Structure 1
Amino acid sequence: MSTKPIPQSAQRDRVRKTVPALVEYTEGVVYGDLWERTDLSKRDRSLVTVAALVATYRPEQLSVHIGRALDNGVTREEIAGLITHLAFYAGWPAAMSGAQVATEVFEKREG
């Protein structure tokens, strides 16, 4: 397991008392191991993760991962292009919901 610091999450901290094992797996396996693998860059992992969350309509997780994608070097234009591309593969409603989440994340970062 990686010794790198795990990104903080208010959402994760909120549910820790209810589902402590799930949070442990998230921190130990997902962020501790999976995100630290070297077969994909963190930037590429972010693109894949954002695409999966848009395509499967997971807006509650999407805002965190769009922010992480920006931190990992994905541009706003690339996120917009990803969402537009997915409209044709994952459906218009999923893409429009993803666009709403992306807009919120971008606006929070501007303010």
Structure 2
Amino acid sequence: MQGERFEKGLEVRRSVLGPEYVDKSLQNADDFNMPLQELVTEYCWGEVWTREGLPRKTRSMLNLAMLTALNRPHELNLHIRGALRNGCTKEEIKEIFLQAAIYCGVPAGVESFKIAQEVFKEENL
């Protein structure tokens, strides 16, 4: 679990998702799922999220749309928080989910709005 790309990924992952969540994920990992934690940290966060081609805010916006399309509520909850950390506003998040509702289906949009409302309430927004 060492290496420069892993360390860079860990830094970005903590910055976007919050150190509490990331550290808990790593601490709770066992022999079975630690390889997945390493893979995600090194390649998702260390290889892709560190690229200069898109700012983090844009990457977060893309994630919100894709997670809506894929119906991944747990990940969507996590990435709404990350999008807020990366500078997305409630208004931008609303527009992302309206757009996604048209292209992914109204039920996906409804679920995304529901999750966002819960996050906004928890974050006092």
Note whether the superposition's TM-score is higher than 0.5. Answer: yes
Which position in structure 2 is the counterpart of 1:12?
A: 25
Structure 1: stretches of 5+ with no match in the other structure: none
**4+ aligned runs moved over 4 Å, structure 1:** none
Aligned residues: 111
Measured on the aligned residues, the alpha-carbon RMSD in Å equals 1.9
Structure 2: stretches of 5+ with no match in the other structure: none
Choose the corresponding residue for 1:38, options 49, 52, 62.
Answer: 52
Which position in structure 2 is the counterpart of 1:88?
A: 102
Residue by residue over 1:13-62, the C-alpha shift from the partner in whole angstroms, topping out at 9 and shown as x without a partner, is 47621411111011111112211110000010000011100111110101
Does 1:67 find its partner at 2:78? no
Does 1:56 find its partner at 2:70? yes
Equivalent-residue separation in structure 1 for 2:39 and 2:91 (angstroms): 32
User: Normalising by the residue count of structure 2, what TM-score does the alignment of the two structures yield?
Assistant: 0.80
User: Normalising by the residue count of structure 1, what TM-score does the alignment of the two structures yield?
Assistant: 0.89
Which position in structure 2 is the counterpart of 1:27?
A: 41
Equivalent-residue separation in structure 2 for 1:102 and 1:62 (angstroms): 8
Does 1:47 find its partner at 2:97? no
Greater helix share, structure number: 2
User: What SS does the aligned partner of 1:32 have?
Assistant: helix
Which position in structure 2 is the counterpart of 1:100?
A: 114
The code of the aligned residue for 1:61 comes to E
Equivalent-residue separation in structure 1 for 2:68 and 2:50 (angstroms): 23
The code of the aligned residue for 2:114 comes to Q
Compute the displacement of 1:12 (Å): 2.9
Does 1:77 find its partner at 2:95? no
